[in-house]
Chains A and B, each alone.
Chain A
């Protein structure tokens, strides 16, 4: 009996040590591979406008920093000259949300003067960005197998070229990117204080192409529209409302989110406004940002309260439709809208966009045909790729944990190496790998900012 037992005795220690090692590893670091798989199938991002640097803005950005986002969009009116204005405010906001979170900006009316300074303080972190960061640009997220194309434009400030905008939407559709989100500062339809400052032609284009979401600020309140197929200014056209609930069907229309409740004083909304019929939710007493979660088949939005009142709002868009036929341009849109003399215009990515004048209504059958050739310049660098950011984020994450259990992790790393040696000595083949050693807590967190260049990728804007 004893001899028989002795035969296995040498395996006891490594066996139980391995079991304990994996148990401890799972407790400390989570189940391997599961997190990675989840992160690639969904993406989360937030949006806000009109912040300033008051206690309300601090509360909003604190909520952002706790929201576990992949990236964040600010749709303009950043500082209101608080906290040092264009040169100082970016540092203030990074002090709250950190430097790891990609914080992508587009100019608001208070920023048009000095957007280049803001761009230096809050540079682009998206590897595949095209256009002019801060004014008119787009990027896809994630970089590979993108779930969403985010198009940020500045109509009313730095007017986008309408053909460029149209092409950016079409190429997203033809590339099979499930969701198209367009962000800008100014409004068109609203129940608040503002008027159609973006121009109805821009709104009509986006609605006719059935972009999934339009994000805006400017009106300091929160408003979520119903799902719309069209919109007429200063009136509510009932036939434009596709779906008045909170559960929408992808490809049926567009939902407009106005979230200018970022911290600066709130403006009143009016439920009796002539455009109020377009909106499902309006609120003017709560500060907060809007959080989006996207997967291949669903986009969900949720207002995240930070201060003030107690607004709660959420919605989902589900389905697999890809919107309208690429190349569609509605009537009444001049291709050179807002681009007098080429000033402040983003040139079209393709030499020409095929516009079929007869094809001016949305196709009910989404097409997956290739749109007019837009050459995609991925503009990748080794230092700012999303893969790198993921690595940095992982390191940052581990760094935080390492503060609490540096000794334990180092001990586990030692055990790991020991077990590998033992298993090798026993003739058992082991996969090559290294235990994730914690970053020393005294080391600086890895910077993901691609230098100090305002536009890390070559700009297409003159």
Chain B
């Protein structure tokens, strides 16, 4: 028995060693993989989550004598493919000057640009250029610039409204994903602050 003791010890150590190697390797693989978080895959939300608003609010007459708004969108998890703004204003107090797509809507296809100067209504729509494989309109950012000129600088106020009839279409959603809009107030006097950027 005494003679065999070294051999028994040797075999036992080898068995333990093999166990350590196998277990250690397995454990090592697990631990190497553990901290790596899988890249999430997201499906665009079909729940309407998109908002439209105007900035700044309130707005004063800028140094160029104009009323200039930035139109903003926040799509949250919607991936929009088109935006149609329906804007109303008081034609007795404001005169429409221009509307143009910027940032998220820049270099995309304008499918409607209709100005009703009598009733104070603007219909302006932009979509991903058909067949262009443009990325979706998403995130929180500027989409347009809207400029008016005041008819009078009498210190009164008026409102420019993004109407609920505005439409934002998103991939995978039949109806508009627009859920909220916010109007902006125009103060018909020159501002001491710079708001024409």
Q: What is the interface of chain A, defined by CB distance below 8 A to chain B? A: 2, 5, 9, 12-13, 16-17, 19-20, 23-24, 27-28, 52, 54-56, 58-59, 62-63, 65-66, 80-82, 193, 220, 263-268, 270, 284-285, 306-309, 400-401, 403-405, 408
Of all chain B residues, which has the CB nearest A396? B35
Q: How far is the CB of A421 from chain B (nearest CB, A)?
A: 18
Q: Are A405 and B21 in contact (CB under 8 A)?
A: no
Q: A80-B139, A265-B139 are in contact. Are A23 and B40 (CB under 8 A)?
A: no
Q: A24-B21, A264-B141 are in contact. Are A408 and B27 (CB under 8 A)?
A: yes
Q: Are A54 and B76 in contact (CB under 8 A)?
A: yes
Q: Are A265 and B141 in contact (CB under 8 A)?
A: yes
Which A residues lie within 8 Å of B23 (CB)? 408
Which B residues lie within 8 Å of A263 (CB)? 139
Whether, in the assembled complex, B130 has its beta carbon less than 8 Å from a beta carbon of chain A, the answer is: no
We find that the number of chain B residues with CB closer than 8 angstroms to chain A is: 45
Known contacts A27-B25, A309-B135, then 10 further A-B pairs from the complex at CB < 8 Å, ordered by chain A residue: A16-B13, A20-B17, A27-B20, A58-B40, A59-B39, A59-B42, A66-B39, A80-B141, A264-B141, A404-B27
Which B residues lie within 8 Å of A405 (CB)? 24, 27, 31
The answer, among B3, B13, B103, for a CB contact under 8 Å with A17, is B13
The answer, among A56, A268, A270, A408, for a CB contact under 8 Å with B134, is A268
Which B residues lie within 8 Å of A56 (CB)? 42, 138-139
Which A residues lie within 8 Å of B13 (CB)? 13, 16-17, 20
Whether, in the assembled complex, B75 has its beta carbon less than 8 Å from a beta carbon of chain A, the answer is: yes
Whether, in the assembled complex, B58 has its beta carbon less than 8 Å from a beta carbon of chain A, the answer is: no
One of B104-112, B172-180, B182-190 contacting the partner: B104-112
Q: What is the interface of chain B, defined by CB distance below 8 A to chain A? A: 3, 5-6, 9-10, 13-14, 16-17, 20-21, 23-25, 27-28, 30-31, 34-40, 42, 74-77, 102-104, 106-108, 133-141
Which B residues lie within 8 Å of A13 (CB)? 9, 13
The answer, among A16, A54, A82, for a CB contact under 8 Å with B17, is A16
A5 to B7, CA, bound (A): 11
Which B residues lie within 8 Å of A24 (CB)? 20-21, 24
Q: How far is the CB of A393 from chain B (nearest CB, A)?
A: 12
Q: How far is the CB of B2 from chain A (nearest CB, A)?
A: 9
- Complex A-B: 10 CB contacts under 8 Å: A12-B10, A27-B25, A54-B139, A62-B40, A66-B37, A66-B39, A265-B75, A265-B138, A284-B135, A307-B42
Q: Are A193 and B102 in contact (CB under 8 A)?
A: yes
Of all chain A residues, which has the CB nearest B77? A55
Which A residues lie within 8 Å of B106 (CB)? 193, 267-268
Which B residues lie within 8 Å of A81 (CB)? 140
Of all chain B residues, which has the CB nearest A16? B13
Q: Are B24 and A28 in contact (CB under 8 A)?
A: yes
A81 to B76, CA, bound (A): 11
Q: Are A55 and B40 in contact (CB under 8 A)?
A: yes
A82 to B38, CA, bound (A): 23
Which A residues lie within 8 Å of B75 (CB)? 265
Q: How far is the CB of A387 from chain B (nearest CB, A)?
A: 22
Q: How far is the CB of B83 from chain A (nearest CB, A)?
A: 11
Most buried by A among B13, B24, B75, B136: B24
Which B residues lie within 8 Å of A82 (CB)? 140
Q: How far is the CB of B187 from chain A (nearest CB, A)?
A: 22
Q: Are B28 and A400 in contact (CB under 8 A)?
A: no
A81 to B135, CA, bound (A): 22
Rank and list the top 4 A-B pairs by shortest CB-CB distance, nearest first. Answer: A265-B139, A264-B139, A55-B42, A268-B107
Q: How far is the CB of B131 from chain A (nearest CB, A)?
A: 14
A409 to B134, CA, bound (A): 53
Of all chain A residues, which has the CB nearest B16? A20
A176 to B13, CA, bound (A): 53
Q: How far is the CB of B140 from chain A (nearest CB, A)?
A: 4
Q: Are B137 and A265 in contact (CB under 8 A)?
A: yes
Q: How far is the CB of A30 from chain B (nearest CB, A)?
A: 9
A176 to B83, CA, bound (A): 53
Q: Are A63 and B39 in contact (CB under 8 A)?
A: yes
Q: A28-B24, A265-B141 are in contact. Are A2 and B36 (CB under 8 A)?
A: no
Which A residues lie within 8 Å of B36 (CB)? 66
Q: A264-B140, A408-B27 are in contact. Are A306 and B135 (CB under 8 A)?
A: no
Q: Are A193 and B103 in contact (CB under 8 A)?
A: yes
Which B residues lie within 8 Å of A63 (CB)? 39
Which B residues lie within 8 Å of A408 (CB)? 23-24, 27
Most buried by A among B27, B102, B137: B27
Q: How far is the CB of A215 from chain B (nearest CB, A)?
A: 21
Q: How far is the CB of B158 from chain A (nearest CB, A)?
A: 27
Which A residues lie within 8 Å of B35 (CB)? 400
A135 to B136, CA, bound (A): 32
Q: Are B10 and A16 in contact (CB under 8 A)?
A: yes
Q: Are A400 and B17 in contact (CB under 8 A)?
A: no
Q: Are A404 and B39 in contact (CB under 8 A)?
A: no
Q: Are A62 and B37 in contact (CB under 8 A)?
A: yes
Q: How far is the CB of A22 from chain B (nearest CB, A)?
A: 11
A306 to B140, CA, bound (A): 19
Most buried by B among A58, A265, A267: A265
Which B residues lie within 8 Å of A265 (CB)? 75, 103-104, 135-141
The answer, among A16, A266, A284, A403, for a CB contact under 8 Å with B34, is A403
Most buried by B among A16, A59, A263: A16
Which B residues lie within 8 Å of A12 (CB)? 6, 9-10
